[in-house]
Amino acid sequence: MAQRVIHVGCGGWGAMWCHEFLPANVEDGTIEVVAAVDRNPDALENAREGLGLSEERCYTDVERAFAAHDAEFATLVVPPEARKPLVETALEHGLDLLTEKPIAPTLAEATEIAEMVADAGAKMAVTMSHRFDRDKVTLRSRLQNGEYGPLDYLVMRFTQRYRQRDEWVAGRPYEMEHPLLVEGGVHHLDLLASLADAKCERLYARTWNPEWSDFSGDSQVLVTMDFENGVHATYEGATTNAVALNGWENEYIRAECRDATLELDARELTVYPYDPEAEPRHNAEGPPEGKSIPLGDGEKWMNTWLIERFVQWRAGGEPMATRVERNLQSMALIEAAMRSSERDEPVQVQALLDRE
């Protein structure tokens, strides 16, 4: 039986939920969207068009929507600073929650939200969509099945050209203190941790903003990460480069294992096996011939898949890897990166979490 959901946040990224992520799960009977909410009446047109909701099922007041409909959970696609009061209201109405990232503006507030959810005996998960994209899922499965031996280190690149105001997300990130970390790094550092298959122990970050940037806060970042299982990682994130080499969903990731190098570049995954009999390539102009790895099969990916997984968890299935208490790790990575850059020193990530 389809689970009943109230969707909150229909403008901006919420429009994608109304037109793509939710409809795919409505069509196959996974969910039934019983109402939609947005403070901006114009944004509710996305719910009417994408979800086929009548005027009577579209609200500008979340309290009225929650009180009027017998729903089982809510999806929250609102800015992080608006999330805590919505979580409180949803919990008061006995709703579970599936929300966009990050949980909250700060690790302290995210921890408060996780405690509220636990005290209510509710379920809450966060849509870390990049971790559940088709190419990244394929890479992770190849790393974790052991066929290439132990993982040594990871390299990740995300580079965009968003120098001019309004080139990225309708201008909102241009006023943030750490736009790249909050909007991009929250996905990318989380993804590296999932590929390493361990908690991050130590993180060092440098962030800055070039003089040619229209951002108010730091738009470039370099990060090194040390994980509890001995794996290491480096991350290059940039939003004010001359060109975009690896943008959203097309990130570059290289995984160095004992028995092979795996390279993911613009959604193409290639493996270069170690050959102990091969001649050294002292003057190599490029990599040796590799083997293409087909991406995994599946009808749903990213947020569309995460909605289905949340429904399955609510129905008694396996707890989600991105449930709120686990996702505090992702929040801690961003907080650690901000603190590391501000203080120009490494941060012990798990100690940071323990203090919160």
| Residue pLDDT, tens place only, 7-26 | 999 999 999 999 999 999 99
- Asked whether the predicted pLDDT for residue 29 surpasses 90, the reply is yes
Percent of the chain past pLDDT 90, that is, above it, reads 92
Q: Are residues 64 and 149 in the same domain?
A: no
Q: Are residues 99 and 173 in the same domain?
A: no
Domain harbouring 111, CATH code: 3.40.50.720
Summarize pLDDT for 193-252 with one digit per residue, the tens. Answer: 999 999 999 999 999 999 999 999 999 999 999 999 999 999 999 999 999 999 999 999
- How distant is the alpha carbon of residue 13 from its chain centre? 13
Q: Are residues 33 and 55 in the same domain?
A: yes
Q: What is the pLDDT of residue 326?
A: 96
Quickly tell me which residue has 């050959």 as its tokens: 275
Q: What is the mean pLDDT of residues 148-160?
A: 98
Q: Are residues 156 and 246 in the same domain?
A: yes
Q: What is the mean pLDDT of residues 90-104?
A: 96
Q: Residue 239 gets which letter from DSSP?
A: S
Burial 248-268 (b: 16+ CB within 10 A, else e): eebbbbbbbbeebbbbbbeee
- Asked whether the predicted pLDDT for residue 147 surpasses 90, the reply is yes
- Asked whether the predicted pLDDT for residue 284 surpasses 80, the reply is no
Q: What is the pLDDT of residue 240?
A: 97
Q: What is the pLDDT of residue 344?
A: 97
Query: Would residue 312 count as lying in a domain?
Result: no
Query: Would residue 323 count as lying in a domain?
Result: no
Give the separation between CA 228 and CA 56, rounded to whole angstroms. Answer: 52
For 39, counting Cβ atoms within 10 Å of its Cβ (0-12 exposed, 13-18 middle, 19+ buried), the class is: middle
Q: What is the pLDDT of residue 279?
A: 80
Q: Are 57 and 72 in contact (CB under 8 A)?
A: no
Percent of the chain past pLDDT 70, that is, above it, reads 99
Of 81, 103, 122, which residue is a domain's last?
122
Summarize pLDDT for 304-346 with one digit per residue, the tens. Answer: 999 999 999 999 999 999 999 999 999 999 999 999 999 999 9
Domain harbouring 261, CATH code: 3.30.360.10
Query: Would residue 353 count as lying in a domain?
Result: no
Q: What is the pLDDT of residue 47?
A: 97
Q: What is the pLDDT of residue 1?
A: 87
Q: Are residues 142 and 278 in the same domain?
A: yes
* Average pLDDT, rounded, for the chain: 96
DSSP string, 70-137: --SEEEE-S-GGGHHHHHHHHHHTT-EEEEPSPSSSSHHHHHHHHHHHHHHT--EEE--GGGGSHHHH
pTM summary value: 0.94
Of 104, 122, 140, which residue is a domain's last?
122
Of 78, 104, 122, which residue is a domain's last?
122
- Asked whether the predicted pLDDT for residue 182 surpasses 70, the reply is yes
- Asked whether the predicted pLDDT for residue 170 surpasses 80, the reply is no
Query: Would residue 322 count as lying in a domain?
Result: no
Q: What is the pLDDT of residue 220?
A: 98
Q: What is the pLDDT of residue 96?
A: 98
The confidence band for 356, taking pLDDT boundaries of 50, 70 and 90, is low
Q: What is the pLDDT of residue 280?
A: 81
Q: Which domain holds residue 153?
A: 131-298+331-348
- Asked whether the predicted pLDDT for residue 106 surpasses 90, the reply is yes
The confidence band for 139, taking pLDDT boundaries of 50, 70 and 90, is very high
